[in-house]
Amino acid sequence: MAQTIPDDQLAGQLDAIARNEVAGLHELYAATKARLFVVCLGVVRDREAAEDVLQEVYLKVWNRAAGYDRERGAPWPWLAMIARNTAIDWARAHSRRASLDGAKYLLTREAEFEPAADEQLAQAQESDRAMRAVEHLDEAAAQCLRAAFIEGLTYSEVAEREGLPLGTVKSRIRRALKVLRMRMADG
């Protein structure tokens, strides 16, 4: 994922939220709302619903900030996972399922939340690094990762589609994410 806000800044905002400091939530919201909205929109594919889901995301962040652990990973993936899971829960509750069309829909709507030019450049460079890192994964792991995080499939849906046990899919994705985190941290 593209990241232009320093991890220390995001982690500091999460620490402030964990101390029930509303200012921390305001800062985090201002720093992440556009990107988290895009995550939500990519799954639910409905602007109004994505706005509702985003509101729920920040409620969850408020309630779970004390559980964020810097040692287990960077703040952005933690926030993105909350957004993705909240959006998937909404989609399941409303009998909708994300598909490859979601990526096309997302691209047409993303311009409404376009960041400044310097931020776009930084995001593009970070995205390129992430995509190059994915290309170095073994194909089975990369395929599971793409299905879960780009197509929006649940781990169970990935397992069914790939004809694999659920535990195998979870292990492949967990190992792939670990490798990606290491490669992204190495720069």
* Local confidence pLDDT in tens for the 187 residues of the chain: 344 678 889 999 999 999 999 999 999 999 999 889 988 888 888 888 899 999 999 999 999 999 988 888 888 889 989 999 999 888 888 754 444 455 455 555 554 555 555 555 555 556 666 666 677 788 888 888 778 876 777 888 889 989 999 999 998 888 888 887 777 777 5
Angle 75-93/47-64 helices, nearest 10 degrees? 130
CA distance 114 to 98: 23
Q: DSSP alpha helices (H): ranges in 45-154? A: 47-64, 75-93, 100-109, 117-135, 139-149
pTM of the model: 0.53
